[in-house]
Amino acid sequence: MGANTIAAEDQAYLRIENLCKVYATRDGEVRALNDISFSQRRGEFLSHVGPSGCGKSTLLMIAAGLLAPSSGAVRVGGRKVDRPRTDIGIVFQNPVLLDWRTALGNVMLQAEARKLNRKEAEARAGTLLESVGLGGFEERYPHELSGGMRQRVSICRALIHNPDHLLMDEPFGALDALTRDQLVLDLQALVSERHMTVLFITHSIAEAVFLSDRVVVMTPRPGCIDRIIDIKLPRPRTLAMRETPEFAEYSRQILDLFLARGVLREH
Partner 1 sequence: MTEILDSTVFAASHIAAGGGELEAGIRERRRQRARRERIAAVIYPIGMLAALIAIWEAAARLFSLPPYLLPAPSAIVRSMDANSAVLVKESVTTTLEIVLGFLLSVAVGVPLALAIYLWRPFARAVYPVLVSSQAVPKVAVAPLFLVWFGFGLLPKVLIAFLIAFFPVVINTAMGLAALEREKIYLAQSMGLGPFATFFKIQLPNALPSIFAGLKISITFSVVGAVVGEFVGGQGGLGYLLLIANGNMDTALLFAGIVALTVLGVIFFALIGLLERLVLPPHAVEHTSFGRETM
Stretch that binds ligand ADP, among 9-17, 50-58, 69-77, 247-255 (CB under 6 A): 50-58
Q: Which of 12, 16, 19, 32 binds ligand ADP (CB under 6 A)?
A: 32
Q: Which does 54 bind (CB under 5 to 8 A by kind): Mg ion, partner 1, ligand ADP, none?
A: ligand ADP
Pairing of strands 45-49, 214-218: parallel
Burial class (CB in 10 A: 0-12, 13-18, 19+), 32: buried
* Chain positions contacting partner 1, by CB under 8 A: 61, 64, 66, 84-86, 88-90, 92, 94, 96, 98-100, 109-110, 112-114, 133-137, 141, 143-144, 146-149, 176, 178-179, 182
Q: Which of 16, 46, 54, 74 binds ligand ADP (CB under 6 A)?
A: 54
**Closest distance of CB 51 from ligand ADP, Å:** 7
Q: Which of 15, 44, 48, 57 binds Mg ion (CB under 5 A)?
A: 57
Beta-strand ranges (E) seen in the chain are: 12-25, 28-41, 45-49, 71-76, 79-80, 88-91, 165-169, 197-202, 214-218, 225-230
In whole angstroms, give the CA distance from residue 49 to residue 144.
32
**Closest distance of CB 231 from partner 1, Å:** 28
Report the 10 Å Cβ neighbour count for 236.
10
Q: Which of 30, 96, 206, 241 binds ligand ADP (CB under 6 A)?
A: 30
**Closest distance of CB 123 from ligand ADP, Å:** 36
Nearby residues of 81 by Cβ (< 8 Å), 6 or more positions away? 63, 65, 73, 74, 75
Pairing of strands 214-218, 165-169: unpaired
**Closest distance of CB 170 from ligand ADP, Å:** 7
The answer to whether the beta carbons of residues 76 and 85 sit under 8 Å apart is yes
Residues lying near ligand ADP in the complex (CB under 6 A) are found at 23, 25, 30, 32, 52-58, 221
